[in-house]
Amino acid sequence: MLRRSYGRRRFLQSSTLFSASLMASVISSRIARANNEPGKDEFVPAIVIGSGFGGAVAALRLGQAGINTVLLERGRRWLITPEQNTFATYRQPDGRAAWLSSTTYDGVPVDVYTGILERKDENGISVLCGAGVGGGSLVYNCVHYQPSRELFYRVFPPEIDYDELDSVYYPRARSVQKVSVIPQDILASNYYLLMRRFLEQANVAGIPNRLLDLAIDWDIVREEINGTKVPSAIAAEVWYGHNSGAKNSLDRNYLVEAEQTGKVSILPLHLVTTISEVAGHGYRVSCNEINESGEVVTTKSFTCRYLFLAAGSMGTSALLVKAKATGTLPRLNDYIGLEWGNNGDTFCVRSGVPGPTNSQQGGPASALIQHFDNPIGPISLMCFPVWNAPEGTIASLGMGIPSVKGKFSYDATTGLVKLNWPENGSQSGDPKVLEAAKFTYKLLNRKNATSKGKNRTTIDLSGSTTAHPLGGAVMGKACDFYGRVKGYKRLYVVDGALIPGSAACTNPAFTIAALAERNLERILAEDIVG
């Protein structure tokens, strides 16, 4: 019953709010008709698989270049309703919170539905990924964090020109998504006491800190505060979406603009299963069209001349590793599936923090500590809100530079691709990053202790989950420095799979988008004939 009502809502929204993309719908229905004929491939010049940061940039720039493009996305559209009830909430989770799972990421039972957040339990690590039109931007904390030049080159190869990214491509990505720091009047409200406390603690400990750039519409947050919009950001709702519409997710900027070119057609609920080469022609992409319960409605097959892989590090790596193992793309090199990293992610909850922390825990993550001269390794700590945190709790995400790598492998008996982290399996987690994070948290606790030498703040630190999977088809190894897959022409990786395991102590989405902008510009100029 629940499932059916989500479906109806989606349909109504699509027909009213997306009339601007009429042209794209016409292309899409033509393709759908052709695919109803069994065994018949539909040709489209360009296909993009996945609609997150890499896929959204690719779709927009291809559309603007006048290239008919189909974007295949496994998840559904999530459009903000006038009733402000698009998403599940932490307080009342349901199937909309989880991708085809009977529990949410944190184990609450829900109906099985094509929900927004997937938790993939791999060998040695759990990985969180967004699902739906907009990819990871639907679930993200909206943080746009550019790495420093120095840390960038600890991770990225010298062939990537940081200054060019800094002056051209980060600003380009930033301008489409409308990014800004939290305004002072909102930061000063009771809802953001936690963020202020986090920065104060860093000041007391003498560690550099600042506000983060966020893709948030702050006017909507003001409406939440004055009661004219449903509390979302101010109520610590983040990962399941903002019912108020405060989040500037990609489906509300890049992807809308892509559809408005009239050249890009987005097909939600299309799960790509196989990619293969069609000799002398291009590529074949096979997919299952699914319903909102995940059941296969029909199978489809497309051919294209240009194929852009943007299914995220986990999705793109799985498609490529399977293609190499099963021989559908036999010339992929031996770097496919390697050089995976967790971005040096750690999660920490500090309890018993002195002083008030949370009259309410407003979000998303607005405050940042940059402990780059940590003697064990550079660390960024980002404070994030927790809706049910008791007083005296500060939760934060740490990002360091990983010292261990992961790799993907194909299991011929199950037909599944699995991530193994660390790749040699001889140790658990990344001890160096955990040690570095612990050093900074202990420093914060010690310097902020009030009870005469006795520090009662406890640290619960873990590195067994990541929200920032990166790598698997890395630049300079599996691909060239513009994402062209080695061994093939007109096959590209444009997402987090291209990044060598770390975004240099930052959240990666901004860098993924900036690199996609850079790479698309080069690919359109050199590879694509109109």
Ligand X SMILES: Cc1cc2nc3c(=O)[nH]c(=O)nc-3n(C[C@H](O)[C@H](O)[C@H](O)COP(=O)(O)OP(=O)(O)OC[C@H]3O[C@@H](n4cnc5c(N)ncnc54)[C@H](O)[C@@H]3O)c2cc1C
Coil/strand/helix, residue 195:
helix
Residue of 45, 52, 124, 337 that binds ligand X (CB under 6 A):
52
Does 69 help bind ligand X (rule: CB under 6 A)? Answer: no
Q: Reduced to 3 states, what is the DSSP secondary structure of residue 379?
A: strand
Q: How far is CA 312 from the centre of its chain?
A: 7
Residue 46 to residue 69: CA distance in whole angstroms: 5
What would you report as the CA-atom Rg of the chain, rounded to the nearest whole angstrom? 22
Query: What is the largest distance, in Å, between two alpha-carbon atoms of the chain?
Result: 77
Closer Cβ to ligand X, 365 or 457, answer by number: 365
**513: helix, strand or coil:** helix
Any contact of residue 49 with ligand X (CB under 6 A)?
yes
Site string for ligand X, 458-487 (x = CB under 6 A): ---------xx-------------------
Answer yes or no whether residue 237 interacts with ligand X by CB under 6 A: no
Smallest CA-to-CA distance from 399 within 326, 320, 505 is with: 505
Minimum CB–partner distance for residue 217 and ligand X (Å): 15
Of these, 10, 35, 47, 74, which contacts ligand X (CB under 6 A)?
Answer: 74
Please identify which residue in 27, 31, 47, 143 interacts with ligand X, judged by CB under 6 A: 143
Stretch that binds ligand X, among 125-133, 325-333, 445-453, 457-465 (CB under 6 A): 125-133
Dihedral-angle region of residue 74 (phi above 0 means left; psi in -120 to 50 means alpha; beta otherwise)? alpha
The smaller minimum CB distance to ligand X, of residues 199 and 512, is found at 512
Using rule CB under 6 A, residue 139 touches ligand X: yes
CB-neighbour burial class of residue 524 (10 A; exposed 0-12, middle 13-18, buried 19+): middle
Work out how close the CB of 290 gets to ligand X at its nearest, in angstroms, rounded to a whole number. Answer: 10
Q: Does 110 bind ligand X (CB under 6 A)?
A: no
Q: At what angle do helices 509-526 and 170-177 cross, to 10 degrees?
A: 110
Q: How far is the CB of 382 from ligand X (least distance, A)?
A: 8
294 vs 15: CA distance, rounded Å: 22
Whether 524 contacts 489, CB under 8 Å? no
141 binds ligand X (CB under 6 A): yes
Residue 96 or 457: which CB sits closer to ligand X? 96
In the complex, minimum distance from the CB of residue 55 to ligand X, in angstroms, rounded to a whole number: 6
Q: By CB under 6 A, is residue 245 in contact with ligand X?
A: no
Kindly state the number of chain residues that form the binding site for ligand X, as judged by CB under 6 A: 40
Site for ligand X, residues 8 to 47, rule: CB under 6 A: none
> Of residues 113, 156, 198, 239, which one binds ligand X by CB under 6 A?
239
Smallest Cα–Cα separation from 276: which of 464, 39, 3, 491?
491
User: Could you tell me the two tokens for 455?
Assistant: 């520090």
Choose one: 17-25, 62-70, 147-155, 309-317; the region binding ligand X (CB under 6 A): 309-317
Give the Cα separation of 397 and 388 in Å (integer). 17
User: Is residue 88 within the footprint of ligand X (CB under 6 A)?
Assistant: no
The three-class DSSP label of residue 296 is strand
Q: Is 402 in the site for ligand X (CB under 6 A)?
A: no
Query: Applying CB under 6 A, does 395 fall inside the site for ligand X?
Result: no
- Please choose, from the candidates 286, 241, 23, 24, the residue with its C-alpha nearest in 3D space to the C-alpha of residue 131: 241
Q: How far apart are CA 450 and CA 427, in angstroms?
A: 38
Q: Cβ closer to ligand X: 51 or 457?
A: 51
Residue 436 binding ligand X, by CB under 6 A: no
Cα 270 to Cα 258: distance, rounded to the nearest angstrom: 18
CA distances for 291 relative to 270, 287, 459, angstroms: 9, 13, 43
Are 166 and 174 a contacting pair, CB within 8 Å?
Answer: no
Interface stretch with ligand X, choices 11-19, 139-147, 191-199, 297-305 (CB under 6 A): 139-147
**Contact residue for ligand X among 72, 179, 399, 515 (CB under 6 A):** 72
Phi, psi (rounded to 5 degrees) for 528:
-105, 125
Check: CB of residue 198 under 8 Å from CB of residue 182: no
Q: Which is nearer to ligand X, 177 or 445 (CB)?
A: 177
Q: Which is nearer to ligand X, 134 or 231 (CB)?
A: 134
Both tokens of 188, joined, read 């000063």
Regarding 367 and contact with ligand X (CB under 6 A), the answer is no
- CA proximity to 460, closest of 383, 348, 357: 348
Query: Least Å distance between CB 467 and ligand X?
Result: 4
User: 506 to 525, contacts with ligand X by CB under 6 A?
Assistant: 507-510, 512
Closest separation in Å from C-beta 307 to ligand X: 12
231 touches ligand X (CB under 6 A): no
Question: Strands 345-351, 394-399: parallel, antiparallel or unpaired by DSSP?
Answer: antiparallel
Q: Nearer to ligand X by C-beta: 307 or 310?
A: 310
From 25-33, 225-233, 312-320, 480-488, span contacting ligand X (CB under 6 A):
312-320
Q: Give the residue with the Cβ less far from ligand X, 507 or 519.
A: 507
* CB-CB neighbours of 451 under 10 Å: 10
Which residues contribute to the site for ligand X (CB under 6 A)?
49-55, 72-75, 128-132, 135-136, 139-143, 239, 271-272, 310-313, 315, 467-468, 495-496, 507-510, 512
